[in-house]
Amino acid sequence: MTTVEAAQAVGVSWPVGARWFRHAGGMPPISLDEPTGRYLSFAEREEIALLRAQGCDTEGMEPCG
């Protein structure tokens, strides 16, 4: 719900709703959804860190000998 929608729901103007929002801390709720596929999992980051520590090239992610 946007600030404008919330203001309309309680019957005040959007500037008043925005002011209330700012005075209450002004932080929208965070999303607890799982990250999209473009992010690496912890296991993937850990594997890359181990490969880099071994001196492997992580750009091409080719097997390290």
| pTM of the predicted structure, to 2 decimals | 0.41
pLDDT tens-digit map of 7-38: 999 999 999 999 999 898 888 778 788 777 78
Could you tell me if 7 and 17 are in contact, meaning their C-beta atoms sit under 8 angstroms apart? yes
Report if residue 34 sits inside a domain: no
Report if residue 22 sits inside a domain: yes
> Average of pLDDT values for 31-49?
85
Q: Give how many domains the chain has, as a whole number.
A: 1
Report which of 3, 37, 42 is spatially closest to residue 20, judged by C-alpha positions. 3
Report if residue 57 sits inside a domain: no
- Reply yes or no on whether the pLDDT at 2 is more than 80: yes
Task: Name 4's Cβ contacts closer than 8 Å, sequence gap at least 6.
Answer: 14, 17
What pLDDT score was predicted for residue 27?
80
Pairwise CA distance, residues 15 & 29, whole Å: 20
- Which span out of 29-33, 50-54, 58-62 was modeled with the highest average pLDDT? 50-54
Report if residue 43 sits inside a domain: no
Report if residue 20 sits inside a domain: yes
Domain that includes residue 12, residue range:
1-26
Report if residue 31 sits inside a domain: no
